[in-house]
Amino acid sequence: FFQYCLSGHPTLPCNVLKFKSTTIMLDCGLDMTSTLNFLPLPLVQSPRLSKLPGWVLKDGSTFLDKELKECSGHVFVDSVPEFCLPETELLDLSTVDVILISNYHCMMALPYITEYTGFTGTVYATEPTVQIGRLLMEELVNSIERVPKAQSASMWKNKEVQRLLPAPLKDAVEVSMWRKCYTMPEVNAALSKIQLVGYSQKIELFGAVQVTPLSSGYALGSSNWIIQSHYEKVSYVSGSSLLTTHPQPMDQASLKNSDVLILTGLTQIPTANPDGMVGEFCSNLAMTVRNGGNVLVPCYPSGVIYDLLECLYQYIDSAGLSNVPFYFISPVANSSLEFSQIFAEWLCHNKQTKVYLPEPPFPHAELIQTNKLKHYPSIHGDFSNDFKQPCVVFTGHPSLRFGDVVHFMELWGKSSLNTVIFTEPDFSYLDALAPYQPLAMKCVYCPIDTRLNFIQVSKLLKEVQPLHVVCPEQYTQPPPTQSHRTDLMIDCQPPPMSYRRAEVLTLPYKRRYEKIEIMPELADSLVPLEIKPGISLATVSAVLHTKDNKHVLQLPPKPPQPPTSKKRKRVSDDVPECKPLKPLLSGSIPVDQFVQTLEKHGFSDVKVEDTAKGHIVLLQEAETLIQIEEDSTHIICDNDEPLRVKLRDLVLKFLQKF
Amino acid sequence: MTRECALLLPGVCAALADPRQPGSDDTCLEKLLDWFRVLTRFDPTVNLVQDNPCLTEFITSVLALPEPSPSVLSFALRLAGILASSEARFQHLQQEQLLARLFGRDGPLNSALWEDASVRSGWVAGVHTMMHHQPALHFLCNGGGIDVIFTLQGDPSLFVASAASQLLVHVLTFSVESETTNSLSTTDCDWPACAQTIIKHIEDSLQSSSASHIEQSLKLLTSLFGSCRATWTKVLWLGIAKQIKSFLMEETVQVQHMLANLLLKMAWSPVFSDTEGSFWVLVTSALEHLTPVQAGPLAVGLLSLNKCPQDVRMQALTVLLQPMDCILRAASQPLEYPGLLDESVSDPAAVESLLSSKSSCASLLCQTLAHLEQLLSLIHLPVDLPYASLLRSLLAILQFCNGFLSPASPLGSTISRILIHCFRVQKSALDVLAALSERKGCDALLGNLFDVLLAYLESPNTSPTVLKKAFQATSKWLVHLRDLSCSDSQWQRTEKILEDVFLVLQKRLCSHCWEVRDSSLEFLTVLIKCLKDQDEFRQSLLSSEVPRLTENLLEDPESYVRASAVTAVGHLAFVTYFAPESPVTGTQYNKENTIAKLEEILSTDSEGFPRRAVISIFTKWLRQSQLEDTEQFVSRVIQIVERDLDWEVRLGGLELIEVFRSQTISQFGLRECPYAPVSSAVTSSAPWNEPLQTLCRAKLFGFLFRSLCDCDKPLGQRACDILLVLKGNFYPTGTPRDSQGTEDSPAKPSIAWLERTLRQGSLAHNFPTDGSNGVDFQDPESMMLALGTIDFEDLHDELNRCSDHMEKSPQSLLQDILAAVGTIEENEADCY
């Protein structure tokens, strides 16, 4: 078993598993942190951004000043943002048979894989994953395509040039692999290769492997996967949550008895408890609005936003915020809010029961009805007519590099009354804010990451007890900024096996068994012989028939009749020739008794020597050696066939035949 | 015993002994026994049993029953014990041969009923009450009763086992004290026979190999040394000291956990604490040999003792501080700070191993912290603690708990791993931190201290209960900060800390968790109460958003929060509207608006807590003379309050009236105290006129008189108290009641009606609300007449009489029991 690790990002994994004869890709996350090196894409002409000075090298050379701009001591690439793809060189991705997707955040690189590598297989994902994944891709493509940029910078990527750049550009990895965003047709083509699956549905892959998605409790339709054959079970845990939020709870029981458990997608902020953060979010929001300021929440169009809206639904009246408008701006805002209400079977129990009342499972329906929450596809159009301040705006993208959020950062950044509250944990908020400096607006970091924390992981591992754990290397040591927090790492026995980007792991598990079926007629013909109490043996002579990774033992063909005619034997006969069977021997030879027997039969000069593996019986006169070992006996005599046969028969007396 | 009771008693006894009756109510039986205890307590004569032969007959008939109910048999045993508590009655019962049948070998002791714990418990209780005279003691010893008690020490019922142990202590004490003529010397072992049996039993058990027997004897000794301080206990001790010491040293029997308590009880006894020698050596040895968890309670007990040798005290201090010392060492670089303890006197291995185990770390720390808090709460601490190091250690614990401390040692890493997010330890540590604020010597650490506290106040990971404790500790230390001498740098630091505190408070006031909003408001109130006179505090508070956010919370959906907001706003007013030097601008409410807002809450809030808070704030404001036009104000408030359905709000209204009365009386120069000499200025004609008019205009008499008949008694009592004081104000002692020219008042008939109404008791329903009976509560003349005519003293007595004084009498108890029997009989009749 091999695991090819194509992504180094622990929460945006992309691994390929060679399991038996199949090649399975587990997730294809897209690392978007590369976009933080680029200048934001403003929706309306931003004089501030366009006036940023070009970057000049220490020696005064200015050849990069068109590509790189400087803002408050940081250098940014002035070009269309690019993304860091999973490794494509480690193995031939066209050989991937299937791709298993665990949640909508972990499929953002899908078009790059399916449309660029010659991939011909199938992608498996749940329906909400596909639908919401589509929304995320649509929003991404839309946000980038609506701000066309004439210029595309590539000079800085030259290795010689990159070395001269200031950090973090200098240290950016694999810049040559960075790609521009895919297009909508590519998204559609990629999504058309997806086959929808439901939780606990068993999917056979070529008869060799069965894969099953399980609820992971993290997002609508999010799954963990079980990949198993008859004797091996690999669990793939990615982005799971034990908290009670909107999705169906995590199915832990089915992960038991795994030989290998691949663990990815743990919380990115292990020190921030999501409940505390939601509280923090509400307090800061209320405080800002009460002081007459606006609140900007950069977010994805699906996921935690549902929980935030639900929390605010309960909170706004108590906090006296009933008159403050909440705006949700995204090209897919409407679809996201509506989709969430129709995936009843994927929701937690509480929300499912609401559907039968019938009531909308999420209270944001009521917020919309009462006009407290309004949603718009973009800042243009209706929004500009309805816009009232102070207000709260939810919009993307959380990297602050593209999407409507760029506009609000430019608009509200100058006033200290306003607050931007970061709730998505994917981007460092300080890096995200860097091109907007100097900034008067208040910044609050309340990352809400409901994925498993290390305490929960340790409980989970105790509960499901996998034989081996495989995880990204980041999880095997404390976070670099808090090296004393040894509680913030995976602690299990045996210690987890870790991987990093572009590494190939041999999974610590050997195949020992394969299941083979025996045809009934063949089974009928077997006559087991009890060789020890409770253990019976039978010899089987059969033809092993293997097709679609299924193995069947069939009756051997009848021994060929002695040729009645002198016709030439057909060479192309595909039935293998069947030789007469020799009996199998079992048992051991007690040396003392054997010597006595030899003496009875007239060998008087018997000598026994002990060796490391057994004994050598020496018949000096006959110049013959009998080598007795645990699993073999050799009679060595020079060209005296009658003697050999005699000795053989004496040996055989001590052994059982069947 | 009254005649009525004497008549009822035979019936009751017969009913109780009647096997056809279902088991009587246990409470009734207990009350009956209480009554007999009262009857016999001061009367040793035989009269009770002689005059009421039904009592002995009852016991006889219970004994004659083939299968008495366990509860009745238990009752009979306890009753017999009470009756036999005097020698005369004991002899009487002996003559009737009842005691041997009850408590002897042929009694319940050897019957199947003994299986029932209540019977065994009754037996022990009976013997215990009886054991007040020699004959009883001899009866017990000669009848083999002592052995029964020995057995009962190990009874499966913990109540019986504990009672048996107590009984042995009592018998031993009684035997030694009643039968010994010469005081015992250490060499003299001439114990009375009974005492000797018990002491031998103790010694034998201690030497046995059975842990349970040893435990029983240790329990007995603990309770003996705890209750008896006579010198003979020392003689007893000398006989067993060696054995006890061996328990400390040898680990063959696991009874160490009981030794701490035993030694502590002994340390409190002057018999042992006075001695120089061996006892304290043993205590020191116990401190060394017991595990830190076992030794902790002993150490803290010793440290709160005044009479304790200094070296023992130091040893106890070492035990107590060792976990804190370990924490400090684990948290800091070697030699960075002096530890809490001198390394040469302490071996930290045991504590270190406990602290590095997940199962024991938190509990050991919590125990230690609880002990420290207990010590710090003592006003006169007989020992000086190293406060600064203690504080440093506490801060380390708190930082371990929130993951802010990089440990400097492997032990530190382990502890940090265990303690992260441990709320239990956080709460205990914050409690000690708060207690430490009253001790001196920590000022050098104030910076670190507030850093840690602010980190707790700020962190979203702080749980609401921990936050509350953090608020309490912060307020205590802020008060401490105020009391420090004010240098310039000090002043700047205080200002910065206050600024940070208010910034955090601002956010917490907007929390989505109501408990957090509530404790934030409480914290604010405490701060204002303690610090309102401090300029820096007022400036920081008023320049923050806190006042405005607090006023917003008057409309919080959670009633507890509204109540706390009312209290906070009420106190805030002392810093804003009522403080002439700091005019407030920019808030939603000015003084008038705030009063109006609070009145609105008082009249419309659906929950009681906010309304109670409003009335108590109004009273506070009035008491501090912060309001103008008080007459109008009080009148408005009273009219709102008197309709309130919550009696506590109405009671609050009466408090407001009392404050207003007191102020009005002194304002007009009337005497507050009815016995004070009359000043010449007010002896002019009708001195009562103006104040009475004021009180009448404030409409408080209607409320007062109505409250007299309120169905909630505390209101009646309070109203009556106030009316009595008013009467004293307007009819000073010596003034003839009807000398004010009201003889021919037209109000007379209505006041007579009022008096009649009040005399009829609680008549809340038909009390006039509209004055249709002609009582005009706003007419000064009528009120003067009412105050003069109505006998408030009598009314006061009546109101103060317990409402169940009828039901509590023994007669009613006996009637109740009989009534229950009667019901049964009626039912029986129905069956035919």
Show me where the domains of chain A are located.
2-268+451-506, 274-445, 585-657
State the CATH number of the domain containing residue B567: 1.25.10
Q: Which residue has the higher pLDDT, B484 or B378?
A: B378
- Of A242-246, B121-125, B212-216, the range with the highest mean pLDDT is B121-125
Partner B contacted by A286 (CB < 8 A): yes
Question: In the predicted model, is pLDDT for residue B134 greater than 70?
Answer: yes
Look at residue B274 and tell me if it is in a domain. Answer: no
Q: What is the mean pLDDT of residues B133-152?
A: 89
Q: What is the mean pLDDT of residues B775-795?
A: 82
Which residue of A273, A283, A284 is in closest CB contact with B461?
A: A273
Using pLDDT thresholds of 50, 70 and 90, give the confidence band for residue B683: very low
Task: Look at strands A516-518 and A550-554 and give their pairing.
Answer: parallel
Range of the domain at B9: 1-143
User: Does residue B5 sit in the same domain as residue B128?
Assistant: yes
Question: In the predicted model, is pLDDT for residue B313 greater than 60?
Answer: yes
Cα distances from A123 to residues A29, A227, B616, in angstroms, run 14, 15, 69
For residue B536, the model assigns a pLDDT of 84
Residue A570 DSSP one-character state = P
User: Does residue B412 sit in the same domain as residue B329?
Assistant: yes
* Chain A residues close to B462, C-beta within 8 Å: 276
User: Does residue B386 sit in the same domain as residue B487?
Assistant: no
Nearest-Cα distance to chain B for A329, in Å, is 25
Mutation to test the B interface, candidates A284, A285, A290, most B Cβ within 10 Å: A290
For residue B718, the model assigns a pLDDT of 92
Instruction: Give me the number of domains chain B comprises.
Output: 5
* Chain A residues close to B507, C-beta within 8 Å: 280, 283-284, 287
Partner B contacted by A283 (CB < 8 A): yes
Task: Tell me if residue A516 falls in helix, strand or coil.
Answer: strand
Which residue of A277, A278, A319 is in closest CB contact with B510?
A: A319
pLDDT in tens, A406-461: 999 999 999 999 999 999 999 999 999 999 999 999 999 999 999 999 999 999 99
Which residue of B510, B514, B558 is in closest CB contact with A286?
A: B510
Q: What is the mean pLDDT of residues B195-204?
A: 89
Token pair recorded at residue A623:
């110049």
Domain spanning A2-268+451-506, CATH architecture: 4-Layer Sandwich (3.60)
Which residue of B406, B512, B548 is in closest CB contact with A283?
A: B512
Yes or no, beta carbons of A485 and B516 under 8 Å apart = no
Question: In the predicted model, is pLDDT for residue B681 greater than 60?
Answer: no
**DSSP letter string, B269-317:** SHHHHT--SHHHHHHHHHHHHS-HHHHHHHHHHHHT-SS--HHHHHHHH
User: Does residue B125 sit in the same domain as residue B195?
Assistant: no
Yes or no, beta carbons of B508 and A277 under 8 Å apart = no
* Chain B residues close to A481, C-beta within 8 Å: none
Of B390, B406, B441, the residue that ends a domain is B441
Partner B contacted by A273 (CB < 8 A): yes
Which residue of A279, A314, A485 is in closest CB contact with B403?
A: A485
Nearest to A527 by CA among A467, A583, A443, A590: A583
Yes or no, beta carbons of A279 and B507 under 8 Å apart = no
Q: Give me the CATH code for the A274-445 domain, please.
A: 3.40.50.10890
User: Does residue B616 sit in the same domain as residue B491?
Assistant: yes
Residue B443 DSSP one-character state = G
Look at residue B256 and tell me if it is in a domain. Answer: yes
User: Does residue B486 sit in the same domain as residue B602?
Assistant: yes
For residue A566, the model assigns a pLDDT of 56
Question: In the predicted model, is pLDDT for residue B310 greater than 60?
Answer: yes
By CB atoms closer than 10 A (0-12, 13-18, 19+), residue A537 is middle
Task: Tell me if residue A453 falls in helix, strand or coil.
Answer: coil
Q: What is the mean pLDDT of residues B103-117?
A: 87
For residue A415, the model assigns a pLDDT of 95
Using pLDDT thresholds of 50, 70 and 90, give the confidence band for residue B765: very low
User: Does residue B560 sit in the same domain as residue B534?
Assistant: yes
Q: Are A272 and A449 in contact (CB under 8 A)?
A: yes
Yes or no, beta carbons of A283 and B545 under 8 Å apart = no
For residue B764, the model assigns a pLDDT of 45
Yes or no, beta carbons of B513 and A279 under 8 Å apart = yes
Yes or no, beta carbons of A276 and B462 under 8 Å apart = yes
Fold: same for A2-268+451-506 and A274-445: no
Question: In the predicted model, is pLDDT for residue B326 greater than 60?
Answer: yes
Nearest residue on chain A to B544, judged by CA atoms? A291
| CATH fold for the domain made of A585-657 | TATA-Binding Protein (3.30.310)
By CB atoms closer than 10 A (0-12, 13-18, 19+), residue A383 is middle
For residue A435, the model assigns a pLDDT of 95
User: Does residue B607 sit in the same domain as residue B645?
Assistant: no
Look at residue B504 and tell me if it is in a domain. Answer: yes
Token pair recorded at residue A120:
């011909």
Question: In the predicted model, is pLDDT for residue B653 greater than 90?
Answer: yes
Which residue of A273, A279, A484 is in closest CB contact with B511?
A: A279
User: Does residue B426 sit in the same domain as residue B324?
Assistant: yes
Q: Are A490 and A498 in contact (CB under 8 A)?
A: no
Yes or no, beta carbons of A484 and B405 under 8 Å apart = yes
User: Does residue B127 sit in the same domain as residue B210?
Assistant: no
- Count other Cβ atoms within 10 Å, centred on residue B830: 7
pLDDT in tens, B248-305: 887 777 788 888 899 999 888 888 876 667 788 888 888 888 888 889 999 999 988 8
Which residue of A280, A314, A320 is in closest CB contact with B460?
A: A280
Rounded to the nearest integer, the mean pLDDT of chain B is 84
Using pLDDT thresholds of 50, 70 and 90, give the confidence band for residue B762: very low
Between CA A80 and CA A40 the distance in angstroms is 9
For residue B338, the model assigns a pLDDT of 64
Question: In the predicted model, is pLDDT for residue B498 greater than 90?
Answer: yes
For residue A606, the model assigns a pLDDT of 86
Between CA B122 and CA B79 the distance in angstroms is 9
Using pLDDT thresholds of 50, 70 and 90, give the confidence band for residue B680: very low
Q: Which residue has the higher pLDDT, B763 or A259?
A: A259
Partner B contacted by A444 (CB < 8 A): no
For residue B806, the model assigns a pLDDT of 55
pLDDT in tens, B439-449: 888 888 889 99
Look at residue B131 and tell me if it is in a domain. Answer: yes
Contacts of B546 (CB under 8 A, 6+ apart): B502, B505, B506, B509, B524
Beta strands in A416-514 (DSSP E): 419-422, 442-445, 468-472, 497-499, 503-506
For residue A150, the model assigns a pLDDT of 74
Between CA B142 and CA B713 the distance in angstroms is 57
Nearest residue on chain A to B463, judged by CA atoms? A276
Nearest residue on chain B to A481, judged by CA atoms? B406
Question: In the predicted model, is pLDDT for residue B822 greater than 70?
Answer: no
Which residue of B417, B461, B556 is in closest CB contact with A276?
A: B461
Yes or no, beta carbons of B416 and A487 under 8 Å apart = yes
Nearest-Cα distance to chain A for B420, in Å, is 8
Total CB pairs under 8 A between chain A and B: 72
User: Does residue B511 sit in the same domain as residue B418?
Assistant: no
Partner B contacted by A456 (CB < 8 A): no
Between CA B572 and CA B597 the distance in angstroms is 14
For residue A105, the model assigns a pLDDT of 95
Q: Are A17 and A227 in contact (CB under 8 A)?
A: yes
Look at residue B741 and tell me if it is in a domain. Answer: no
User: Please, how many CA atoms are within 13 Å of residue B155, restricted to the half-sphere of its CB?
Assistant: 24
Question: In the predicted model, is pLDDT for residue B829 greater than 50?
Answer: no
Yes or no, beta carbons of B506 and A287 under 8 Å apart = yes
Partner B contacted by A462 (CB < 8 A): no
Of B603, B623, B643, the residue that ends a domain is B623
Q: What is the mean pLDDT of residues B180-205?
A: 76
Yes or no, beta carbons of A320 and B416 under 8 Å apart = no
pLDDT lower than 50: segments of chain A: 572-573
* Chain A residues close to B510, C-beta within 8 Å: 282-284, 286-287, 290, 319
* Chain A residues close to B506, C-beta within 8 Å: 287
Nearest-Cα distance to chain B for A292, in Å, is 12
Partner B contacted by A284 (CB < 8 A): yes
Between CA B322 and CA B329 the distance in angstroms is 10
User: Does residue B522 sit in the same domain as residue B384?
Assistant: no
Nearest-Cα distance to chain A for B422, in Å, is 13
Look at residue B79 and tell me if it is in a domain. Answer: yes
Partner B contacted by A322 (CB < 8 A): no
Phi, psi of B661, deg, nearest 5? -60, -50
Q: Are B237 and B181 in contact (CB under 8 A)?
A: no
Look at residue B452 and tell me if it is in a domain. Answer: no
Yes or no, beta carbons of A290 and B512 under 8 Å apart = no
Say if the ipTM goes beyond 0.90: no
Look at residue B273 and tell me if it is in a domain. Answer: no
Question: In the predicted model, is pLDDT for residue B805 greater than 60?
Answer: no
